[in-house]
Amino acid sequence: MRDHGGNLDSAAALFGGAAADWLDLSTGINRVPYPMPPLPPRALTALPDAAAEARLLASARIAYRTEAPMLPLAGAQAAIQLVPRLAPAGRARILGPTYNEHAASLRASGWQVEEVGDLEALAGADLAVLVHPNNPDGRRHAPHSLRALLPRVGRLLVDESFADPLPELSLAPEAGVPGLLVLRSFGKFYGLAGLRLGFVMGSALDVASLARMAGPWAVSGPALAAGEVALSDRDWARATTGRLAAEGPRLDALAARMGWRLAGGAHLFRLYETEDARTAQEHLARARIWSRIFPWSDRLIRLGLPGGEAEWARLDAALRPANP
């Protein structure tokens, strides 16, 4: 199923209220977004040009510590939809459970898709896919263990959409190696998901093929300008990483009052095991707080981190047992 967080229209339909009444913790999007300065009017009035893309890529190469060929796209999702077209459909293996768009996009392109439960089982695939750190459980692997897969698969796609706070895990610095593709999302860590900006890194041949498929103007002018500014601000990135690292345990303490057990997570979200995930979601929904549950588990619930003390206070009030 292609279910996603951020579906406040569904929340409002089920539990009432308008979207503006809800605190949306159902995604892994930073709720303290980058403080974007005004963008130049040209970013809105002119077609995106090569110079603006070059400036964005220069900032991205510094942020991601790479000189690999790189293509900006309208979110990591755009890359997920293009990568299956790089080669004739074959056997894909995905380390799961994970973000469901990888499997959906591959199947839509005719690939035979198998979900596997451990890294070693990816070997032998024409295309091996993993999200790193994983969504929703935050699973991580030593980079050398991922590199060791390269000669054993046709291509290795590593989705690093939640890796901004964990540069030591990233394979972006070596993404120019043939057979390796690395995805990065801009909108999650920078809290600007509506801009639709992401990147795919890989060999020169693969990136050129993806660029031809994407066509001209694959990224909007505002996204090019905003990405250039935000990715250049390394002080903000460091401060945000520190804040998120401190706030994860704060959320764990609130969840523990409900008897929820930490089951994993990353800097931008936490995953908890509950007695009944739907009941847990409904408990929060009565306070107009939306969370994420999964069709493949009746016990797991994921929460993003609140943004600012008012949101923390609201969640604190909601995360109290009905019968203490």
Q: Confirm if 154 and 87 have CB atoms less than 8 A apart.
A: yes
Given a cut of 60, is residue 208 above it in pLDDT?
A: yes
Given a cut of 80, is residue 10 above it in pLDDT?
A: yes
- Quick one: fold of 41-232? Aspartate Aminotransferase; domain 2 (3.40.640)
Where is 91: in which H helix or E strand?
Answer: strand 91-95
Write down the CATH superfamily of domain 8-33+235-319: Aspartate Aminotransferase, domain 1 (3.90.1150.10)
The 10s digit of each residue's pLDDT in 77-95 is: 999 999 999 999 999 999 9
To the question of pTM greater than 0.85 for the whole model, the response is: yes
Domain boundaries, the chain: 8-33+235-319, 41-232
Categorize the per-residue pLDDT at 1 as very low, low, confident or very high, splitting at 50, 70 and 90. Answer: low
3-state secondary structure of 322: coil
Q: Confirm if 200 and 73 have CB atoms less than 8 A apart.
A: yes
Q: 146-160: string of b/e by CB count within 10 Å (b at 16+)? A: beebbeebebbbbbb
Task: Assess whether the region 8-33+235-319 and the region 41-232 belong to the same CATH fold.
Answer: no
CA atoms of 74 and 58, how far apart (whole Å): 18
The residue assigned the tokens 């896919």 is 129
Q: Confirm if 116 and 139 have CB atoms less than 8 A apart.
A: no
Categorize the per-residue pLDDT at 316 as very low, low, confident or very high, splitting at 50, 70 and 90. Answer: very high
User: For all residues of the chain together, what is the average pLDDT?
Assistant: 96
Q: Strand pairing partners for 114?
A: 93
Tokens of 91: 């056997």
Q: How far is CA 90 from CA 78, 107, 118, 151, 287, in A?
A: 20, 10, 20, 17, 47
Q: Confirm if 48 and 217 have CB atoms less than 8 A apart.
A: yes
Q: Which of 162, 134, 137, 136 is nearest to 146 (CA)?
A: 134
The 10s digit of each residue's pLDDT in 53-76 is: 999 999 999 999 999 999 999 999
pLDDT confidence of residue 323? 62
CA atoms of 141 and 132, how far apart (whole Å): 8
Burial class (CB in 10 A: 0-12, 13-18, 19+), 91: middle
Given a cut of 60, is residue 211 above it in pLDDT?
A: yes
- Average pLDDT score over residue span 256-272: 98
Given a cut of 90, is residue 98 above it in pLDDT?
A: yes
Burial class (CB in 10 A: 0-12, 13-18, 19+), 245: exposed
The 10s digit of each residue's pLDDT in 225-238 is: 999 999 999 999 99
Given a cut of 70, is residue 19 above it in pLDDT?
A: yes
3-state secondary structure of 310: helix
Q: Confirm if 281 and 24 have CB atoms less than 8 A apart.
A: no
- According to DSSP, residue 216 is labeled T
